[in-house]
């Protein structure tokens, strides 16, 4: 059994969760259960819990595929962080999550697993939204596209949403990922956020059942995320293969913005640079005094590449690299020491830089965010917290390319 699922269906869960909820969950797969009869719920409750515990703690291969999928989705939200996300989305939909009262008038103890299961069965729109938001927060590596101009609003009426979902379905189906496609839409300040739940490639595996071997095939559900800021004119895409990102960006531009080619400019992904670091050399430090809430910024990893023209192919290639990590001090300075101060420019270039930013919070210890900057188009970090301040930090240190308004206007024409 998968580790997170085994942790979810432990004895504590099966001994305390409401039997009625468990029955409703299992009834969804009544025709495919192997080794468990649903009339167990008509027996003594303690015996029912024991039988269900034995079934759920058995091999995952014995479960119906649909039950495995359900349990994995519930498990992902069956923790304290998932509960917080569920509560936020319940408030957005006007759904009240109240303490349950037992027959004796006392409050029933409900852990996050219980509430996740209850929302899954009784408030699927809240559960789906919470699952989507968790997928958004989990993505740290996002491809970014700069539009031709700023201030272009997305049209998010029901007609454009339905059209986008149809075109996204066609895109994923063309990559043999199945026809299922569900898009969740969420506004956050000036951003439009999308979570696209779709199928993956078919997985085929042999399983043993009732003393015989058979082969089962299934698709795991996966998530792609998009986030568009009209103010910045930028689209962020995660969870999509590199070869398909531009296609999905074009679908968004055409349908949601009414501007085909909006993210297809030559500099659309020319967003970040390490040129200021290369110019300053090994003494470069991140300036952050403008933000009093940033306590410290470390350079914890850096890679330098020796590049040149391959005499056989005529193409530019990387001949070798130096990668240095230093979690306590300054990896850039350590690189200078270990390479005897090779000069940047010419044949040597920085491949990427990893920063650790320490933010003051109300807690005793600062919050730490790790940012990987890899030009020209990638800044990887958990964006659900401090995103605006991190982007300002990068911009104030010259690590973000400001687009040339004249060039963008010419491209638009």
Percent of the chain with pLDDT over 90: 37
pLDDT at residue number 97:
87
- Judged on CB neighbours under 10 Å (0-12, 13-18, 19+), 7 is middle
Please state the φ and ψ torsions of residue 323, each to the nearest 5 degrees: -115, 125
In a domain, 180, yes or no: yes
Residues shown for the chain: 413
Angle between helices 80-92 and 124-138 (to 10 degrees): 120
In this prediction, residue 408 has a pLDDT band, given cuts at 50, 70 and 90, of very low
304 in the same domain as 210: no
The residue range of the domain holding 72 is 3-136
Among 257, 289, 314, the domain boundary falls at: 257
- Unique residue bearing structure tokens 């009414």: 258
CA distance 187 to 139: 17
Q: Is the pLDDT of residue 162 over 50?
A: yes
How far CA 82 is from CA of 139, 292, 316, in Å, comes to 15, 31, 47
Mean pLDDT to the nearest integer, 253-274: 93
pLDDT at residue number 315:
81
Percent of the chain with pLDDT over 70: 88
pLDDT at residue number 210:
63
Domain count, the chain: 3
147 in the same domain as 122: no
Q: Is the pLDDT of residue 404 over 60?
A: no
Cross-strand pairs, 183: 196
| Residues 325-339 pLDDT 10s | 998 889 999 999 988
pLDDT at residue number 326:
93
Q: Is the pLDDT of residue 46 over 90?
A: no
Predicted model pTM: 0.70
Residues 6+ apart with CB under 8 A from 379: 144, 271, 272, 371, 372, 373, 391, 394
In this prediction, residue 264 has a pLDDT band, given cuts at 50, 70 and 90, of very high
pLDDT at residue number 255:
96
- Unique residue bearing structure tokens 């919070």: 361
Mean pLDDT to the nearest integer, 360-378: 90
105 in the same domain as 60: yes
Q: Are 357 and 369 in contact (CB under 8 A)?
A: yes
DSSP string, 343-365: PSBTTEEEEEEEEEEEE--SSSS
Among 136, 169, 188, the domain boundary falls at: 136
Q: Is the pLDDT of residue 176 over 90?
A: no
Q: Is the pLDDT of residue 109 over 70?
A: no
Mean pLDDT to the nearest integer, 148-155: 92
173 in the same domain as 251: yes
């Amino acid at each position: 059994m998968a580790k997170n699922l085994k942790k979810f269906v432990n004895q504590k869960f099966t001994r305390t969760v409401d039997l009625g909820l468990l029955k409703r969950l299992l009834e969804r797969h009544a025709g495919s259960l192997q080794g468990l009869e649903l009339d167990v719920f008509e027996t003594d409750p303690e015996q029912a819990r024991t039988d269900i515990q034995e079934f759920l703690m058995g091999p995952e291969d014995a479960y119906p595929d649909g039950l495995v999928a359900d349990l994995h989705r519930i498990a992902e939200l069956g923790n304290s962080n998932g509960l917080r996300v569920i509560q936020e989305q319940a408030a957005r939909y006007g759904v009240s999550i109240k303490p349950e009262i037992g027959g004796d008038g006392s409050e029933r103890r409900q852990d996050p697993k219980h509430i996740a299961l209850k929302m899954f069965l009784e408030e699927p729109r809240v559960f789906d939204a919470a699952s989507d938001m968790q997928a958004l927060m989990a993505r740290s590596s996002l491809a970014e596209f700069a539009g031709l101009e700023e201030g272009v609003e997305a049209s998010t009426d029901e007609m454009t949403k339905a059209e986008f979902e149809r075109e996204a379905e066609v895109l994923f189906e063309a990559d043999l990922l199945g026809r299922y496609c569900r898009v969740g839409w969420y506004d956050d300040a000036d951003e439009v956020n999308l979570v696209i739940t779709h199928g993956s490639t078919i997985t085929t595996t042999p399983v043993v059942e009732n003393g015989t071997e058979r082969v089962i095939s299934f698709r795991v559900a996966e998530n792609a995320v998009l986030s568009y800021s009209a103010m910045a004119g930028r689209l962020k895409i995660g969870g999509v293969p590199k070869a398909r990102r531009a296609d999905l960006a074009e679908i968004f531009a055409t349908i949601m913005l009414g501007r085909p080619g909006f993210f297809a400019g030559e500099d659309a992904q020319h967003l970040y640079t390490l040129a200021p670091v290369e110019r300053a050399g090994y003494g470069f430090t991140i300036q952050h005094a403008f933000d009093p809430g940033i306590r410290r910024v470390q350079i914890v990893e850096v890679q330098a590449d020796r590049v040149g023209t391959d005499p056989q192919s005529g193409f530019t290639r990387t001949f070798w690299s130096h990668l240095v990590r230093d979690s306590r001090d300054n990896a850039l300075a350590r690189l200078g020491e270990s390479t005897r101060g090779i000069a940047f420019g010419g044949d040597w270039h920085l491949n990427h830089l990893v920063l650790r930013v320490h933010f003051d919070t109300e807690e005793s210890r600062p919050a730490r965010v790790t940012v990987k900057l890899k030009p020209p188009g990638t800044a990887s970090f958990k964006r659900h917290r401090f995103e605006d301040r991190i982007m300002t930090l990068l911009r104030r240190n010259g690590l973000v390319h400001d687009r040339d308004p004249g060039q963008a206007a010419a491209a638009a024409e």
